[in-house]
Amino acid sequence: MRRRLILKMIPAGVLAGLPTFAGAARAAGLVPAFRGTPRIAVGGIASECSTYSRIRARMEDLTVLRGQDVFKAPLSLPLQRYETPFLPTLTASAPSGGPVERQTYETLKADYLERLKKLLPLDGVYLMMHGALSVEGMDDAEGDWYEATRAVVGPDCLISAYYDLHGNLSRRAVDTLDAMTAYRTAPHVDRVENVMRATDMLTHCLRYGLRPGIVWASIPALLPGEQSSTEWEPGRRLWADLSEYNRLPGILDVSQLVGYVWADEPRAAASVVTTGTNIEEQTRIVTELAARYWDARHEFHFDSPMGTIEECLSRAMVSVTHPVVISDSGDNPGGGGNSDQTFFLQALLKAGTKDVLLGGMTDRPATDACYRAGVGATLPLSIGATLDPLMCRPVHVKKAVVKHLTAVTRPEDGEAVVEFDGITATLSARRRLYHSAESFRDMGVDPAQFKIVVLKCGYLHPTMKVLANPALMALSPGAINQDILHIGNRRRRPTWPWVPDLAWTPEPYISARFRRG
């Protein structure tokens, strides 16, 4: 872990001039040399998709990197620190949102597989995934991607995957992978470490000729991510000691996933998963940790006081401290929300609230209109409900003053700041996160100067958390409604908390890849 933290802190330009860890270790005679140079491909597809969203991710909504461009992604940087070259195929990622259009997925998968075939023979594949991908008309999109990969690379190639803490696992995925790991923090501050756990396992097994396998337990419990942060209990203690299990003989990785509650799919669940070469020890660990998680399920809670939009707004208006920061949690684009719902804006106008910063409204037509008018112009605007006009209605503002326009080269990247009726609002042409204080300051807006700040987010970014005085969470409507007992639940197996008296004991599952020897 120390090595990983050091690598994370060293700039890439400096690191490039240093001998690699593997090279230095081999020179000192600490590890055996590879038998030749293993051929390892890298690719993947990642998004967090709410099945409750009516919007769809299409090709233009995804960031697709092909060939050597794969290494331009920030989380590909650690791959360049290995002596073993990683061979790029295709990576595709979309911001959290609605399901991916089926044709878009099939086109990307075909492109990826064609590139993978050109790299054969392969010893390993590293896949940059998420675990909550949903595709129109398909269950378990990750499992489909893995099976397609396995069909190309054959039974002897090792496949290692990287997951988000909020991923959902399936037997199909477990039976196809050889190794996997997931974030151990929420908010996710261990992204680099997670990449290196996945790739270290892969290179380590190839170096020593190991055939790892997975033991997994699916836990029939689901929680909103905003309740399961590792910054407070019980998440803090449940994730704090996972790395200690890696010290045990035959254990390569132990991961614990909250699951993604806004995917109404049979595989949606929390889980514990181990990668290693010791079935008995892995089974013991999975049983122990799954039971521990299940026993703690009633302890999970929101970190901030919560209420309806109206309740949170009433409390904020009488607060003697500021800024009161309110999370518009149901419309959080960081978790799959649309970011164009106007329920909060309607409530602000109805209450006549002043001195408010409203961050993160997505509205391409309104943003474009501001660019046409220019800074200083006053114009009427229709705001919101452009991505999903069925859930709510747009708000019509008679006189909005354009205060800021971000310099952009593409209209789809446009950002505007407007003022109307005592409200300062940020508008964007596409869905993006306005969670940090810097995202506002870059637009000439200081959130600390407002009485009330409304953010389309869940738990607060650290830079906003230190400003909040106090922080509140509104259980607002949207594609990721935090009031999960009242979301549709048609396709999941019996799961807590929908079945409050559910009885369950862990039943570890041993991967078919493990059983094949």
Question: Does residue 21 carry a pLDDT above 90?
Answer: no
d(CA 426, CA 356): 11
The more confidently predicted of residues 190 and 283 is: 283
Question: Does residue 337 carry a pLDDT above 80?
Answer: yes
* Tokens of residue 81, six digits: 């620190």
Q: How do strand 306-307 and strand 471-474 relate by DSSP bridges?
A: parallel
d(CA 80, CA 126): 13
- Select from 368, 367, 370, 344 the least CA-distant residue to 357: 344
C-beta separation of 63 from 94 below 8 A: yes
* Tokens of residue 339, six digits: 């970011």
pLDDT per residue as tens digits for the range 245-258: 989 999 999 999 99
d(CA 319, CA 129): 43
pLDDT at 11: 37
pLDDT at 25: 43
| Mean pLDDT within 492-507 | 96
| Mean pLDDT within 96-116 | 97
Number of H helices, E strands in the chain: 16, 19
Chain-centre distance for alpha carbon 95: 8
Cα distances (angstroms) measured from residue 325 to each of 293, 431, 467? 31, 21, 8
Cα distances (angstroms) measured from residue 125 to each of 34, 155, 205? 17, 12, 12
| Identity of the residue numbered 131 | G
| 3-state class percentages of the chain: helix first, strand second, coil last, to nearest 5 | 35, 25, 45
C-beta separation of 296 from 496 below 8 A: no
Question: Does residue 47 carry a pLDDT above 50?
Answer: yes
d(CA 32, CA 25): 9
Q: At what angle do helices 343-351 and 309-317 cross, to 10 degrees?
A: 40
pLDDT per residue as tens digits for the range 428-463: 999 999 999 999 999 999 999 999 999 999 989 889
C-beta separation of 367 from 426 below 8 A: no
Phi, psi of 344 (to 5 degrees): -70, -40
C-beta separation of 344 from 309 below 8 A: yes
Residue 225: pLDDT band (50, 70, 90) is confident
| Mean pLDDT within 193-207 | 94
Is the peptide bond between 249 and the residue preceding it cis, with omega within 30 degrees of 0?
no
Question: Does residue 3 carry a pLDDT above 80?
Answer: no
C-beta separation of 400 from 366 below 8 A: no
C-beta separation of 455 from 435 below 8 A: yes
Residue 517: pLDDT band (50, 70, 90) is low
C-beta separation of 178 from 241 below 8 A: no
Question: Does residue 13 carry a pLDDT above 80?
Answer: no
| Mean pLDDT within 125-149 | 97
d(CA 439, CA 311): 27
The more confidently predicted of residues 22 and 409 is: 409
Sign of dihedral through CA atoms 197, 203, 206, 209?
A: negative
Residue 20: pLDDT band (50, 70, 90) is very low
C-beta separation of 246 from 193 below 8 A: no
Sequential DSSP letters for 224-268: -GGG--TTSTTHHHHHHTHHHHTTSTTEEEEEEE---TT--STT-
* Tokens of residue 117, six digits: 């075939």
C-beta separation of 260 from 183 below 8 A: no
Residue 77: pLDDT band (50, 70, 90) is confident
Helix (H) or strand (E) holding 102, with range, is helix 102-118
Could you report how far apart the first and last alpha carbons of the chain are, in Å? Answer: 30
3-state secondary structure of 486: helix
Q: How much is the pTM?
A: 0.89
* Tokens of residue 31, six digits: 């590890």
Helical spans, DSSP H, in 158-234? 171-174, 191-208
pLDDT per residue as tens digits for the range 418-429: 999 999 999 999
Read off the DSSP letter of residue 78. Answer: G
